[in-house]
Structure 1
Amino acid sequence: MLYLEHVNIVVKDIPASLIFYQAAFPHWRVRCEGSGEWYGKPRNWLHFGDDYQYLALSDHGEGTLRDNKQHQVGLAHFGYVVQNLNAVIERLTKAGFPVDTYGTPNPHRQNAYFVDPTGYEVEFIEYFSDVPSERNNNQT
């Protein structure tokens, strides 16, 4: 079996990022955390997830992320399949994170994009079909 175990992202502020991701994934927990050095620079790190998947957050970054509305090379977004998109939207909105944009209407799915405190775009998608050709259809 092949699956994505974790995404390792460098964030501006771990506690602020944790507020966002705890609202998105209330069933996840802090698995472990610590501090150390990464190529000569001190950093704090934290793993937030469940027993099978997690986000690795580190706070040692410098500079800015690519502008998602432009065309620079880099991470555009990462996406999570959820069972109830409206519940995710409600939790994130209540935590102070409005929907950045909605996906194109499609009878087989709905999706919404949010921007976390560091500026990463995160997509949440709910599918209404188990048929791959319908789920992956970009036609409305």
Structure 2
Amino acid sequence: MYLEHVNLVVDDVEAMLHFYQAAFPHWYIRSKGQGTWHGKPRQWLHFGDDYHYLALSDNGEHKNRDLTGHQVGLAHFAYVTNNIAAVIARLEQAGYSIDKPGAENPYRKNVYFIDPAGFEVEFVEYISDIPAQRNNDK
């Protein structure tokens, strides 16, 4: 079993696409179209690879949850990479800044960015292939 997709309602699909194209240059638009959701028109697209994708739909209303608060909702989602420095460089070159660095850990490097819709995205590179070390919070 694996996570196939995450469905995000946003206000600007093109801005989201810009961010995620920088993070994942090998991904592509798998499909896109128009439809309605409970009587409201929307555009949508699926951006990813053959196994995983982000489903993005526009016409979102209001701001995302306050990430420093305690509201119910998505805190963040994370992607594992083999080269966190390259991910950071691509995102910074595309105009995005690190929101916060991850905690110091001898077995992993991680960093957090905020995407254009206000979702926090973590990128993590594991230094160890031993699960007990990778999952160690020290």
The Cα offsets for residues 5-58 of structure 1, whole Å up to 9 and x where unpaired, read as 000001110111100000000000000000000111000000000000000000
Deviation at 1:118, TM superposition (A): 0.8
CA distance, structure 1, for counterparts of residue 62 and residue 97 of structure 2? 24
Over aligned residue pairs, what C-alpha RMSD do you find?
0.6
1:25 alignment counterpart: 24
8 Å contact 2:12–2:59 — kept in the other structure?
no
SS of aligned partner of 1:73: coil
Deviation at 1:97, TM superposition (A): 0.5
Question: Superposition pairs for residues 108-123 of structure 1, below 5 Å?
Answer: 108-123=107-122
| Runs of 4+ residues over 6 Å off in structure 1 | none
Amino acid at match of 1:106: N
CA distance, structure 2, for counterparts of residue 80 and residue 89 of structure 1? 13
Question: Superposition pairs for residues 89-128 of structure 1, below 5 Å?
Answer: 89-128=88-127
1:73 alignment counterpart: 72
Amino acid at match of 2:69: Q
Amino acid at match of 2:73: G
1:12 alignment counterpart: 11
The Cα offsets for residues 67-97 of structure 1, whole Å up to 9 and x where unpaired, read as 1111111100000001100000000000000
Residues paired across the two proteins, number: 138
Percent of aligned positions with the same letter in both sequences? 63
1:58 alignment counterpart: 57
Deviation at 1:60, TM superposition (A): 2.1
CA distance, structure 2, for counterparts of residue 29 and residue 11 of structure 1? 19
What are the ranges of 5 or more consecutive residues in structure 2 without an aligned counterpart? none
SS of aligned partner of 2:18: helix
CA distance, structure 2, for counterparts of residue 50 and residue 99 of structure 1? 25
Amino acid at match of 1:126: E
